[in-house]
Structure 1
Amino acid sequence: MATLISRFTDAKRVVIKIGSSLLVDSKNGRLRRDWLIALSQDIAKMRRRGQEVLVVSSGSIALGRHILGLKNSPLRLEESQAAAATGQIQLAHAYQEILALENIPVAQILLTPGDTEERRRYLNARSTITTLLSLGALPVVNENDTVATIEIRYGDNDRLAARVAQMITADCLILLSDVDGLYTAGP
């Protein structure tokens, strides 16, 4: 365990993926602001240690579902895209507002699989992200669910986080979830 912790604290570039269930209260569909404030304080500490941090955030569909009054039953593609569009603006605003308390500028990046699979788009996305990191901004990445269809989706943000971590040659990828367990090696 000590080796695992030292790998994390020694990492120069860290990608943190945040699951919807950590950001959005399942009972009322609202953002868990206290949790996001605590995370922003942790990110500020990491940045003071000299670590570059990027966040891959879920939560837009869960927030949008509540805002639009959509039930917890499975959504049609159009409803899911509408929820994502509505929730994403709320999510981006929350990150901007809360991280401003730590004087951390935030940038939103919405990606589709083509942005990590097509060479020209991959290089452009990587250049944008690394420029943001060098300028001291915190990139917050999410899948562009408003245009992604079932055939052209990452499917979940764990996969997106892995692709982004590889893209920017991150030293560490942290997956935050409400699922119990800790992997110290591949599952």
Structure 2
Amino acid sequence: KLAPQELYPGDALNDGKAAMATVGPWAVSAYKDSVDIGVVPVPTSTGKPPEDTYSFGDEKSAAMFSACRNRATAWDLLKFATSAQQDGTFLDETGQMPMREDLTARYPAFFDENPLYKTFARQAERIVEVPNVPGSVDIWQAFRDAWTKSVVFGDGSTDTALRKASDKITKLLDEYGDPA
């Protein structure tokens, strides 16, 4: 079994029951007063350097409808809300990484005062979109089902579960039509 079966209602890292956790920038404020933490990139199985690894982004989008009656005002609001200054405020208030290039150079005061966030900012320089392919909901569900069953619940071999999920995903791609 790779993960415990029982539910633990607390925070294992904060409660001293775990030596590490895989987290994002939101964890810095949660742990900074209670746990002596450091932040490092997730290691790879091959030892690939962090600057050669990529993560899926978690950006949010805003849109303005073409039927908007007050387009100029709406456009001004969107420009204001997504400006570098507002992104800096967002970073200061939440510790979440704005979707901008070169965050540590753009907001040096924040990162000088909050060095634990620098690793997250460097990783934010290397993000890719989650692939948008026909059948992506079913594809991700096949992966989640295999992962949950084998890793979370310890039901069967993880290698076998992920191989079966890979086969299912290949069939789904064939079924939905590979966009490539």
Structure with bigger strand share is 1
TM beyond 0.5: no
TM-score by length of 1: 0.25
